[in-house]
Amino acid sequence: MKVGRTIAQEWEKQESESERLANRKKSKTKKVIKVLSVFACLAIVTVLATMGITKWFTTNEKVEKEKTAIVPTVQIIDENGAGISNRMKEYVGTIEKDLQDLGYTVNRAVIPAGKSREVDVFLNNYEYYFKLNIDRASAVSAEDVSRMVAYLSEHGINPGYVDVRVKGKGYYK
């Protein structure tokens, strides 16, 4: 007790039981509101993240479709007579574009008899042709073709064909 105060004044100052219960109820309500607001924020962040991931995947799918939409402009000769698959057409179109980017022009492409994953590519201004494998990336094969052309012209070699089906190696005959 403080000096100058009576017991009655102290009792008036103390909270009643009902006021204490009301204050507890208010604090519990505040806690519940805080927890619910945290969960709501997490839900919003989750939805936004999901939308972003979905948009990212659909954008990448469009890029993949645009990549495979390359159509060859050169003649493709099938010596098997079984028909030219879409994968082969896409590969010839892509290798044609990659070689064009390196400064070469494809004259025609031939699928040799008895071969399902090989394509022979004939370039303008060159008497020899290149054996390519469609399981390798077209850009890598185009670089190998470019290196072999530079090597053969540097050494004055005029082969019948050049085989660049193996990564990093080129054979000529």
CA angle 144, 149, 151 (to 5 degrees): 95
Tally of domains in the chain: 2
The DSSP line for the chain is: --TT--HHHHHHHSPPHHHHHHHHHHHHHHHHHHHHHHHHHHHHHHHHHHHHHHHHHHHHHHHHHHHHT----SEEEESS-S---HHHHHHHHHHHHHHHHTT--EEEEEE-TT-SSEEEEEETT-SSEEEEETTS-HHHHHHHHHHHHHHHHHHT---SEEE--STT--EE-
* pLDDT tens digit at each of 173 positions of the chain: 556 656 555 555 555 667 777 788 888 888 889 988 988 888 888 887 788 777 766 766 655 555 556 788 898 888 888 888 888 888 999 999 999 999 999 999 999 988 878 999 999 999 999 999 988 988 899 999 999 999 999 999 999 999 998 877 788 88
Buried-exposed string 19-36: b where 16+ CB fall within 10 A, e elsewhere:
eeeeeeeeeeeeeeeeee
Token pair listed for 29: 């309500």
Q: For residue 82, is it within any domain?
A: yes
What length does the chain have? 173
Q: How many C-alpha atoms does 40 have within 13 Å on its Cβ side? A: 6
- Domain co-membership, 87 together with 139: yes
- Domain co-membership, 19 together with 81: no
- Domain co-membership, 15 together with 53: yes
* Residue 22: predicted pLDDT: 78
- Domain co-membership, 143 together with 165: yes
Q: For residue 164, is it within any domain?
A: yes
pTM reported for the whole predicted model: 0.60
* Residue 26: predicted pLDDT: 85
* Residue 105: predicted pLDDT: 93
* Residue 72: predicted pLDDT: 85
* Residue 81: predicted pLDDT: 81
Residue 101 lies in domain:
75-172
CATH number of the domain within which 118 lies: 3.40.50.11690
